[in-house]
Amino acid sequence: MSALLDVQDVHTFIGQFHILEGVSLRVEEGQITALLGRNGAGKTTTLRTIMGMTPPARGAIFFDGRPIHGLPTYEVAQLGIGYVPDYRAIFRHLTVEENLHLAERRKGDLKRKADFIYHLFPDLARLRHLKGGQLSGGQQQMLAIARVLVPDNRLLLIDEPTEGLAPVLVEQLVEAIRQLREQTTVLLVEQNFAVARHLADTFVIVDDGRTVCQGTMEELANDPATVHRYLGVAVGGEA
């Protein structure tokens, strides 16, 4: 079975620093895969490398069987990959609606998806004429996710969606992402192990820029030693 996204032994440099020293991972269609690892392990760089923002020096990346390493970012995105960076990257001077409009890849995308998006994030419907910069942190995160739902993306790369959010908002977001599973495939970077465990079907752990292990979330939950070693948390903590 061929995976939707197949990253093969990718090496990435930022300046002269060797950040990724061999990351490999597979994301199967229709699943949520959690990308786990400590701070500075290379999770964000992995997502950025997939997006072509920090192109890999070595290795290969296939999306739906077609090589995408070396493509400019916008073409990677046009192939159907949506990216939600960890810094949210909402356009502050654009209204919520304009933020969503900007994400259209074809005319009418937003019209088609508006109901679904506003149903998923009712807050956004209420705030649609507000500027992005006027939203709260949680609302911005919702907008960032809503934005990649506007076009028909087949894969979403979501970087630390729950970071720095109040528990109530975390719950709301987790629920939203769970509903996404029916629509698309997700590669999720998540520090909060409880959230990851709750959401993901499979996992990948990177450490020091290398893939350490990959498997189903079940397996990981039953392997506290690995969790402790690479993530530094005890299994069983609930969100």
Partner 1 sequence: MRRYRAVLIALAIAVVGIGLVGRSMKPGTLVATLLSGLTLGALYFLIAAGLSLIFGLMDVLNFAHGTLFMLGAYVAWTWVQNPHGLLLWAGLVLAVAGGSATAAWWLNWSPDRRPGRWTRRWLVAVGVALIGVTAWQWLRWPQALTLLLAAGGGLAVGLGAFRPPVVRPPHRRLVWRGVAVVGLLLVTVLLDAQGPTLASAVAGWGSNAKFVSAIVVGTLAGAVAGALMEWSLIRPLYERPIYQVLLTLGIVFAGNEVARAIWGVGAKRMEKPGWFGQPCRSESLAAWVYEQCASVTVLGRSFPTYRLFVIVLGVLLFVALIVLLRRSRLGMIIRAGVQDREMVEALGINVRQVFTLVFALGAGLAALGGVAAAPFVGVYPEMGLEYMLQAFIVVVIGGMGSVPGAALGALLVGLARAFGDYIVLSGVSLPWMEKAVRMSPSIARASTVLIMAIVLMVRPAGLFGEEE
Q: How far is the CB of 105 from partner 1 (least distance, A)?
A: 5
Q: How far is the CB of 16 from partner 1 (least distance, A)?
A: 15
Cβ-based nearer residue to partner 1, 44 or 226: 44
Residue written as token pair 């507000």 = 130
Q: What single DSSP character describes residue 95? A: B
* Interaction pattern, residues 84-123, with partner 1; x per rule: CB under 8 A: -x---x-xxxx---x--xxx-xx-----------------
* Distance, C-alpha 97 to centroid of its chain: 22
Q: Which of 19, 27, 32, 51 binds partner 1 (CB under 8 A)?
A: 51
Cβ-based nearer residue to partner 1, 83 or 193: 83
Question: For the chain, first and last CA: distance in Å?
Answer: 34
Q: How far is the CB of 139 from partner 1 (least distance, A)?
A: 17
- Cα 122 to Cα 221: distance, rounded to the nearest angstrom: 33
Q: Map the footprint of partner 1 across residues 143-162, applying CB under 8 A.
A: 147, 151
- Cα dihedral 198, 195, 191, 234 sign: negative
Q: Map the footprint of partner 1 across residues 4-33, applying CB under 8 A.
A: none
- C-alpha distances (whole Å) from 161 to each of 94, 128, 140 are 21, 21, 10
Does 169 engage in binding with partner 1 (CB under 8 A)? no
Name the segment binding partner 1 (CB under 8 A); options: 19-27, 77-85, 173-181, 208-216: 77-85
CB distance 18 to 55 below 8 Å: no
Does 55 engage in binding with partner 1 (CB under 8 A)? no
Q: How far is the CB of 190 from partner 1 (least distance, A)?
A: 20
β-pair partners for 67: 62
Q: Which of 38, 59, 79, 191 binds partner 1 (CB under 8 A)?
A: 79
DSSP string, 134-166: GS-HHHHHHHHHHHHHSS--SEEEEE-TTTT--
- Cα 46 to Cα 41: distance, rounded to the nearest angstrom: 10
- Reduced to 3 states (helix: H, G, I; strand: E, B; else coil), residue 60 is strand
Q: How far is the CB of 228 from partner 1 (least distance, A)?
A: 34
Residues that bind partner 1 (CB under 8 A): 51, 53, 71-75, 77-79, 83, 85, 89, 91-94, 98, 101-103, 105-106, 147, 151
